[in-house]
Amino acid sequence: MFKNKYEFIEALTETARSVCGKEYEECSPEDKYYALARVIAAEAGDIHAACLKKEKAKEKKKVYYFSMEFLIGKLLENYLMNLGLTDMVRDALKMMGEDLESFYALEQDPGLGNGGLGRLAACFADSLASLDYAACGQGIRYRFGLFKQRIENGVQVEDPDNWLENGYPWETRHPEDSVIVRFGGSVERQYGEDGPRFRWNEAERIVAMPYDVPIVGYGGETVNTLRLWSAEPCEENFDMDAFNRGDYAGAIKHRADVEAITSILYPNDSASPGKVLRLKQEYMFVCAGLADIIKNFKRDHADDWDRFPELVAIHTNDTHPALCAPELLRVLIDEEGLDWDQAWSIVTRSVSYTNHTILPEASETWPIDTFRALLPRVYDFVEEIDRRYRESFPKTFDRWQDLLRSTAILWDGQVRMANLSVIASHSVNGVAELHTEILKNSVLKGFYTLTPEKFNNKTNGIAHRRFLAQANPSYRELITEAIGDGWLRNASQLVWLKETAKDPAFLEKAAASKRTNKVNLARYIRETTGIEADPDSIFDVQVKRFHGYKRQLLNIFKVMDLYNHILEDENFTMHPSTFIFSGKAAQGYDFAKDVIRLIHGVADVVNSDPKVKDRIRVVFIPNFSVSNAQLIYPAADISEQISTAGMEASGTGNMKFMMNGAVTLGTLDGANVEISEQVGMDNIKIFGLRSEEVDRFRQDGSYLSWDTYSNDPRLKKVVDQLVDGTYARLSGGFNLIYDSLMRNNDEFFVLKDFSSYTGAWNELEALYQNKETWGKMSVYNTACSGFFSSDRTIEEYASDIWDLKK
C-alpha cells in the first residue's frame, strides 16, 4: 500500500509513461484515467498475491462462482473506497492539478451483464472479498455486452456496446492459463489393459483465453479474482484462396466464427445457429473454468482426489453452467482415470445450484440432436447420468412414473438442464422465501418430493457499500454521524436508525439529502432526455428489465388514468409527480419493446399538454446501467415493485430503493414479502392478487379480462386509448398490447390489479404530503434494510452450502 501521496504520484507518473509513452502532463484525459486505474489494479494485484499465499498455506476451501453475467459496474470509486485510498488519491491529484471526480466520469460500464443475475453475482463477489472468503468468479468476457439502448421517435434501437474499444485497464490477460476447448466430431472407443477408454476426436478446437479482474473487498485485506474467458482461434486458418478470389470475408471466416462465441451476451437462440452459439458459450466457460480449477488443485494436491470436495466448491447460477457436472465427470474419468463411483461422489459433493427465476428461459432445454452433435463426449456422460438416475429411481412412490417423467434429464427429444442441475448438486436453493416455496411446490416439486433435504432458501442481498455508501454520499455521512461507521462493515447496525427516525432534526437532514439526490437526478434527466423534472415532485420510479410480468404496462396505465382524471375534472388535485422509467427490452421481445414505445407515446402527449400544469411528468432514462442506477436509487421516493405475484423470484432493485429510503409500492411477490416483514405493513404499500390467487385463476380459468374491462369505465377508457389514436402521434398505435390484454386474456393480470394498484398509489400520494410521516417511513425503510445486505446472504451460503472458512 502507498505510504503517502508522493509515492502514489511517482507510481502514477511512471505508469503514465508506460501507457502512453510520454510524460503524465502530455497524456490525454483518457490515458490519465487508464494509468490511474492500472496503478490501483496493480495495488490490488499485490494484495491478491499475498491472499493466494495465505490460502495455500492454510489450505482454505475456495468457492468458484459460475455465472453468465457479472455486472460489476465502474470500479475506480468503489476500489478507492474499499482500499481506503480515496482521500489520499484526491489530495494527490489535486496537487497535480486534477480532479478525482473527472476520472470517475471517464470510466465506462463494462458490458458483462444485463440485469439482476449479473448484478447479484457482482454483489456476491464484493461480499465474498469483504468477508475474507477465498473465491473466484468464472464468467465470459463479452466483446459487445448486450447492447446500448438508444430511443428514436419513441422506439428502442439497439447499438453495439463496444466497451472494449479503448481497452479495459482493470483486466490482465493470462495466456499461460489458456485452455483448449473442443466441439463436434465423434467419440472413438479404444481398448487397453484397463478396459475400454474413449477418445474425443473433435472437429473444432478453440482457445479460451482468461482475463483476470481484481475484486477488492472492503478494508483492502482480501482481493479475489473474477476470471473472464474470451474465445480465440487456435491458429489463424487464413484462407488465401478465398482472399485471392475476392472473398475477403470468407478468408477470415474461421476467426470471425470463433470470436462470435464471446461477442454478445445472450445471442438470439430462436433458430438453430443461435442455439448452437449459446451452447458453445456455455460449454466454453464451463470447460475452461473447470480446467483452471483442476490445474490449480493438482498443482497443490497432486492426485489426492478425495480432498477435492473439501477444498473446492463449485456453484452454478441458473442452468447456463449446468454442464459443470458432466464436464467434471468427463475430466475425472477420461483424463484422470477415476472410476464412475468415485468421480460421481466428487461431483455431487462439490457442485451446488441456485435457481434464480421460474421463467422458462432460465430452465433451458436443448434438442438432443444439437447437443450430441456439438458435444458428443459430454453427451455420453449426460446420457449415463440419466440412465443411472432412471435405473435407481425409487418405485415406492404413488404415481412414480409421473415423478420420473418430470425429473428425468432426457425426455421427449430434449436435454433438460434444470433437471441435470438438481440431480448433480448437493444443494438447491431459491432466492426468496416465496420463490423457494414455489420451487418446492410447483417448478421442482418432483425433486422436492424425492430429495427434500437438498432444498433451502437464500434470500438475495445487495452490496450496501456500493448502493448506499458510494451511491448516496450525503445520506452516508448523515447515517455515520448518527450511528458511527460500523454499518459499513456490518449492515445489521443500520437498525440503530430506528431511534433516529423519531428525531425531527435527523428527518429534516434526511429530507435535505433526498432533495440533493433528486436535484442530481433531475440534472441527469435534463442532460440525457431534455425533460425538466421538478425535484420537489414525487419521484415515482420503476427501473428494471422490461418484461410482461414486471408490468411496466400497469404503471403507465396508472399515468394514463391520472392524465384522464386531470382532463375530466378541473377540480382534481394531486401532488406534482414525476414518473421515471428505465430498462431494456430483449431484442426479439416485441411486446416489451411496444411498452417502451407506449411510455414514450404517453410522455409525448402528457409532457406537452399545458392543461397538466406540471402536475405530471413522464421520463424514460435510456440505457439503464449500474452507473445511472447509482443516481436513480438515492433519488426515488416511491419504488415500483409491481410484478405479477408469484413470478418475480426475488428482485434486488427493491432492496436498493429501500436501502436509500424509498417506500415500496408492490405486490406480495419475490423479496417484497421479506421487505414487508422487515419494515411492517405501515411502512410499505401492498396491493393486488396474491400468488395463490394467481395460481387459482390460471388453473380454473375463471378470470376473464373482458369482464374486468367492461365493468370499470376508467380502465376501459385507458385500454381503448391504446387503439383510438390518443397516444399514436409519435410512433403509431398499440394493437399488440391491446390484443395481449383483450384477445389473449391478460396473461399477467394487469387489468385485474389495476383498481387495487391505482388505489394504493393514491394512498401513498396522500401520505407523501405529510412530510413528517413520509420522512419517518423513509428512514425506517433504511433502518430495516440491513437484512438485505449481500454480506448476510454470503454468510448463509458459506455456512450452509459451501462450508467455507474465512
Going by the DSSP 8-state scheme, the letter that residue 637 receives in this structure is S
Q: Tell me if 701 sits within 8 A of 679, measured CB to CB.
A: no
Catalytic annotation, pick one of 550, 551, 584, 615: 550
Catalytic annotation, pick one of 652, 726, 782, 793: 652
Active site residue 319: no
665: exposed, middle or buried (Cβ count in 10 Å: 0-12, 13-18, 19+): buried
Active site residue 523: no
User: Would you call 272 helix, strand, or coil by DSSP?
Assistant: helix
Catalytic annotation, pick one of 315, 544, 584, 792: 544
For residue 539, the surrounding DSSP H or E stretch is: strand 538-543
d(Cα 675, Cα 669) in Å, to the nearest integer? 10
d(Cα 233, Cα 253) in Å, to the nearest integer? 11
Residues with Cβ within 8 Å of residue 305, at least 6 apart in sequence: 332, 336, 338, 342, 346
Q: Tell me if 113 sits within 8 A of 226, measured CB to CB.
A: no
Q: Tell me if 745 sits within 8 A of 705, measured CB to CB.
A: yes
For residue 567, the surrounding DSSP H or E stretch is: helix 552-568
Amino acid (1-letter code) at residue 286: V
> How far, in whole angstroms, is CA 93 from its chain's centroid?
34
Alpha-carbon distance values, 427 to 25, 52, 90, 754 (Å): 55, 27, 46, 39
Active site residue 280: no
Q: Tell me if 585 sits within 8 A of 546, measured CB to CB.
A: yes
Active site residue 498: no
Active site residue 690: no
Is beta strand 638-641 parallel, antiparallel or unpaired with respect to 204-216? Answer: unpaired
d(Cα 301, Cα 319) in Å, to the nearest integer? 30
Query: Angle CA(98)–CA(103)–CA(105) in degrees, nearest 5?
Result: 130
Going by the DSSP 8-state scheme, the letter that residue 231 receives in this structure is E
Amino acid (1-letter code) at residue 271: A
Residues with Cβ within 8 Å of residue 162, at least 6 apart in sequence: 143, 144
Residues with Cβ within 8 Å of residue 78, at least 6 apart in sequence: 126, 216, 465, 466, 470
* Nearest in space to 576 (alpha carbons), one of 546, 547, 549, 536: 536
691-698: long-range contacts (C-beta < 8 A, 24 or more apart)? 691/434, 691/438, 691/645, 691/646, 693/645, 694/644, 694/645, 694/646, 694/749, 695/442, 695/646, 697/749, 697/752
Catalytic annotation, pick one of 356, 377, 547, 593: 356
d(Cα 48, Cα 458) in Å, to the nearest integer? 28
Phi, psi of 27 (to 5 degrees): -75, 155
Catalytic annotation, pick one of 174, 426, 545, 696: 545
Active site residue 558: no
Amino acid (1-letter code) at residue 805: K
Number of H helices, E strands in the chain: 35, 23
**Inter-axis angle of helices 790-797 and 116-130, to 10 degrees?**
80
Q: Per the structure block, which three cell numbers stand in for 325?
A: 457436472
For cell 404496462, what's the residue?
A: 553
Catalytic annotation, pick one of 372, 466, 656, 752: 656
Amino acid (1-letter code) at residue 699: Q
Tell me the catalytic residues.
356, 544-545, 550, 652, 656
